[in-house]
Amino acid sequence: MVISRFAIVLATSIVAGAVTTLGIVVVSRFQEWSSERSAYFVSFAAGVLITVSFMHIIPESMEMSEAAPAFILVGFLGLYLLNHFLHIYLCHDYECSGYAVGIIPMLGIGLHSLIDGAIYSITFNVSVLTGVLAAMGMVFHEFPEGIITFILLERGGFGPRRAALYAFLAAALSTPLGALVSYPFISRINEPMLGALLAVAAGALVYVGATHLLPEVAEQNRRYTLLTLAAGVLVGVIIIAFRG
C-alpha cells in the first residue's frame, strides 16, 4: 500500500502539534523540571536544523533552482523581519506590559508554527528524505516551544487553563493548519518553483536554528548544552551520510 505525500505531511504536522501539546501538558504539571531541561531540547534541535539545512536542504534547493541563493536570503530575512515587525508595531519601545508580555511572543510563535506546517509541505514534496530530515529538528524543538509559550503567557498574567489553551492554539494547532492550507498549492507547482520555496524554507530553518534557538541556549547557560548541540549535529550528519 502506497502512502500519499499528503498523508505523510499531515501525519508529521500532527505529530509536531502533539509534541508541542506534550510540552504544554508537562510544563503545566511539572514547571520546574521542564524549565530546567528545555535548553537541552532546544540545543539538540538547533544542531539538527543547522546541519540539515547546510548539508542537505540548501544543496538540494540549488540543484532545483538557479535562484536558490536569493531565496535562501529571502527566507532568512523574512523571518527576521516578521519578528521585528511584531515587536515594533505591537509593543512600544520594545517594552510590553501586562498581557502583552505573553501575547506578543505567542503571536510570533503561532506564525512560526504556521510556517513550520508549510515547510513540511515543501520539504516532503521534494522527497521523503528531505522532509524527514527537516522534520527531525523541527519536531525536537516543538517540545520546548510548548513549554516556552505556556510560561510566557502565564508570566503575562493568564491563568494556567487559559495559558494552556492559548499555547495549544498558537503553538500546536497552527502547525497542522499550516500544512493543510499550504499543501494543495505546493503539490501542484513545477520543480524550479519548488526549489525556490525549498530555499526559502532553508533560510527560515537556518534563522530558527542559528538566530532564534542558539541565543536562547546561550541565555540559559546550561552546563551540557554544547554536548546536546554536538549530538544534534552528529545525528544530522549520520542520517545524511547514510541516506543511500
Give me the torsion for CA of 98, 100, 101, 107, rounded to 10°: 160
Q: Specify the pLDDT at position 94.
A: 44
Q: Specify the pLDDT at position 99.
A: 52
Domain ranges of the chain: 5-30+37-241
Q: Model pTM? A: 0.65
The set of residues, in sequence order, having a beta carbon less than 8 Å from that of 163 and lying 6+ positions away, is 28, 102, 150, 153, 154
Q: Specify the pLDDT at position 21.
A: 92
Q: Specify the pLDDT at position 1.
A: 39
Q: How far is CA 60 from CA 53, 78, 171, 195, in A?
A: 10, 21, 28, 8
* Block residue for cell numbers 527537516: 134
Rounded CA gap, 218 and 98, in Å? 26
Q: Specify the pLDDT at position 108.
A: 62
Rounded CA gap, 201 and 195, in Å? 10
What tens-digit pLDDT sequence spans the chain (244 residues)?
346 888 889 899 999 899 889 988 888 888 777 667 777 877 887 887 788 889 887 888 898 889 999 999 998 998 888 777 766 655 554 455 455 555 656 766 777 678 788 888 888 888 888 888 778 777 776 777 787 778 767 766 778 888 889 889 988 999 999 899 889 888 788 888 888 888 888 888 788 788 877 887 787 777 888 898 998 888 878 867 765 4
Q: Specify the pLDDT at position 119.
A: 84
Q: Specify the pLDDT at position 232.
A: 84
Cα dihedral across residues 35, 37, 43, 45: positive or negative: negative
Q: How far is CA 171 from CA 6, 18, 19, 165, 234, in A?
A: 21, 10, 10, 10, 27
Q: Specify the pLDDT at position 180.
A: 92
Rounded CA gap, 134 and 116, in Å? 10
